[in-house]
Amino acid sequence: SNYSQMKELDTGSATSTIILISGYGTNLQAILDEVANNHLPIQIILILSDNPQAHGIRRAKNAGIPTKIINYHGFNNKADFHLTMEENIKKIDPDLVILAGYMRILSEEFCRQFKGKILNIHPSLLPKFRGLNTYQRVLDSSDEFHGSTVHFVTEELDSGPLVLQYRTKIKTTDDPKQLRKRVQLGEYQIYPMAIRWFAEGFLKMIKGKTVLNGKRISKPKILE
């Protein structure tokens, strides 16, 4: 398939990467596992969390990766939180910033500065269901499918160029929890895959569009 052809390009040095988390960190774990298996040529410099309780911090520590907590609730002035978080990224100046269940919004200025270098995963078939509570909202709709999307981050929330989607058919028996479980299993496939494409140089954002294998794509790739 197209996907397997994209494995071969060798790019030399590993992509320096920072990962941002807020919670349980199962996507982080999927990424850490792929790195440990030498399937993902990224070098994770730092894992940042806005939430001191995030279980993902434990996962990072178990993998021997430096962590830093910048506690959102420790700032009276939320602008200072964002400045601090973003300063910590800027001083490392990584090739790639991965949002893995990071539930805060990056500033417009930061998104512009790191344009084409920030990836996010969002639990819906974007452009459908931007924002929160996507599982309940899709079950309340008449949609046949749900899923998750890897996309580049731009200044506009959940609206950057789409890269890769996992798609699953909604069952009449699904509740939000069951649907989330199935979608998240798909996330553990698509996120490392898209990150690998980026790290190997196949995936870029050029002039606000996703470019894969040198071709501009107007629709995301879909995995089912």
Which residues participate in catalysis according to the annotation? Answer: 122
Smallest gap, in angstroms, from Cβ of residue 9 to ligand GAR? 28
Instruction: Give yes or no for residue 121 binding ligand GAR (CB under 6 A).
Output: yes
Given a contact cutoff of 8 angstroms between Cβ atoms, the answer to whether 54 and 73 are in contact is: no
Among 101, 116, 160, 186, binds ligand GAR (CB under 6 A): 101
Touching ligand GAR, residues 136-155 (CB under 6 A): 148
Instruction: Give yes or no for residue 17 binding ligand GAR (CB under 6 A).
Output: no
Instruction: Give yes or no for residue 26 binding ligand GAR (CB under 6 A).
Output: yes
Residues in contact with ligand GAR, counted by CB under 6 A, come to a total of: 16
For 99-131, give one letter per residue: b (16+ CB within 10 A) or e: bbbbeeebeeebbeebebbbbbbbbbbbeebee
Name the residue number minimizing CB distance to ligand GAR. 101
For 181-218, give one letter per residue: b (16+ CB within 10 A) or e: ebbbebbbebbbbbbbbbbbebbbbeeeebbbeeeebe
**Residue 148: closest CA among 120, 177, 125:** 125
DSSP sequence for 136-171:
HHHHHS--SEEEEEEEE--SSTT-SPEEEEEEEEPP
Smallest gap, in angstroms, from Cβ of residue 84 to ligand GAR? 21
Among 100, 118, 138, 190, binds ligand GAR (CB under 6 A): 100
Among 82, 117, 122, 167, binds ligand GAR (CB under 6 A): 122
String of contacts with ligand GAR for each residue 177-196, x by CB under 6 A: -------x--x---------
Instruction: Give yes or no for residue 220 binding ligand GAR (CB under 6 A).
Output: no
Residues at the contact surface with ligand GAR, assessed by CB under 6 A = 23-28, 56, 100-101, 103, 121-123, 148, 184, 187
